[in-house]
Structure 1
Amino acid sequence: MYAQENTARLLPDVAVHAQPHLAGALDWVGMDGIEVPVRFDAGDGDVQRASARVGAFVNLNRPDKRGIHMSRLYLQVEQALSAQTLSAESLHTLLRGFLDSHKDLSDRACLSIRFEHLVRRPALRSGNSGWRAYPVCIEASLVGEEFLLEFGTEVVYSSTCPASAALSRQLIQDQFAKDFDAGKPIDHAAVLAWLGTERGIVATPHAQRSVARLRVRMTKDAKFDLIALIDEVEHALGTPVQTAVKREDEQAFALANGSNLMFCEDAARRIQKALDVDARLSDFHIRVEHQESLHPHDAVAYASKGVPGGYGDKRC
């Protein structure tokens, strides 16, 4: 017993020794990629447990101090996030704990949490359903008494190019003109049969998987509501990717794409219009990316709420 106690007393702590030749304040010091379980309510009351990666940081405003107490940050993250459901209140308390444990070193703290949340989504026609994993990013900071909370996710959808659709229709018209003599009466049955052949759809517009990446700042009393945010965006876009797909679902999806043509600018404006009337959001940032099938580069558009000093004043 004496040997163990003596060993504990002799454990070295080189971090207490200053290095005057390297003195200087640091913007942020901490850890990134901390593995910890989190509990999250996406707005439906179903608290899910997910595996998260967490970044925990404070500034080091004492040039004469060599380092911070990283183990204190780690233990607070582990104890708080694994035991409590994520909320603005719990994150504010956690950041306050960071600063309280570094009173002599820091006056700013920040935290990032990244994980995926499963949401069951219904099929378009068949009555089936399946799971979609939506990425969640939560970032919080505390500077003095100013607490800032940001929430992010992304929606994957299909986009069909309006220009390509118009060019395809023109080619279909040209093929129709070749196959049916303008000087003869049109036979309804013949046209109907022709439309069911490959000649009746000689060209198709290009469509691609697309991604809308969202960052939002919530009003003071608003709670996390991932599902409501996703529903708003997917409804605005009209063609979110599907889970369970039978033939009737695929046909319904083809119909939705054909009647829902959009450039990336259209998609960004649709989302902007939907989020602009959401009273829970004080600001938002949208990045729409159409991963083109026509060429190897993507078509991209950005939009924001337009709050002075907000997301819209920042570069992409």
Structure 2
Amino acid sequence: MGILKILVVVIFGVVLHGIESLGEGLLVFDYYKETCPFVEDIVRRQVEIAVHKDPRMAASLLRLHFHDCFVMGCDASVLLDSIDEMVSEKQAAPNLNSLRGFSIIDEIKYILEEACPYTVSCSDILTIAARDAVRGGPEWAVLLGRKDSLKASFDGANKYIPSPNSSLETLIANFQQQGLNVQDLIVLSGSHTIGKARCLSFRQRVYEMNEGEEGGGEEGDRYKRYNTYKRILRSICPKTGQDQRVAPLDFRTPARFDNHYFLNILEGKGLLGSDDVLITQDYEGEIRRQVWSYASDQTLFFDSFVKSIVKMGNINVLTSHEGEVRRNCRFINH
């Protein structure tokens, strides 16, 4: 019996150790409870100030988080500047002269370094800031404990970030590479209910000759109904030049996070080609049915959005000793 008791104690100890090991490196809600208890208050306040000065910054911070997570995971690699032989992701085609919000993250990091030196990672700051940027929309708790990467991936940014003119097939493949499904694609596309896009991003969508646009029948009638919308966009964005002019992603309520994006794309009024293809290239009709459900039920969209953005925020995160907590979000520690 004595030997049996010893074996039970040993086995229990091994199991318990295994459970404890599984907990190591996982993201948790109260990661900074003891080391930096006011981190979320600080981030929220600075985001509020930034968005008050520039309402467009809300969408910019949300987009910055998206572009970070789609390249190597949510590790703040997008914040790194070029140095020596490492080329910044900021120089990649999807980001160059397009991504915004870097100075806001810098300001938040500076304040946090004063309050809690060498404690809060840039990747966690970016994740919290993206949540707080969704003003008037859904609210959710952010899992924390990410570490910052030691490198950037210029090639990855060019390869994995979807183009504004991507086909539906390409979009689905992009999302699947990140462990996200079609449902996540639809829901996260709904973030285009706020923000603006450059002429360079929607010119092709505005000037392309859609099948049936000049023909007769139902398709011809369908496109004639949207000529006014296209004329407005063409007045903003000529066929050549003025690449930096912008138009709202959602003409209905451009500064409000709501479900109007889905109403827009059902009417053919998505600004980007990648918005439009959710309907025009959905030959099975499954995506259209989901879009209809979000267009008619904002609460359903908000609930689904929270699930998908939390899922995205957990893509390939670095924890424990896999990365570092940068002192300056633009450079790795030396």
TM-score range, shorter chain: under 0.3
- Greater relative CO (CA pairs within 8 A, separation 6+): 2
Between Structure 1 and Structure 2, the one with more helix by share is 2
TM-score normalized with structure 1 length: 0.23
Bigger radius of gyration among the two: 1
Between Structure 1 and Structure 2, the one with more strand by share is 1
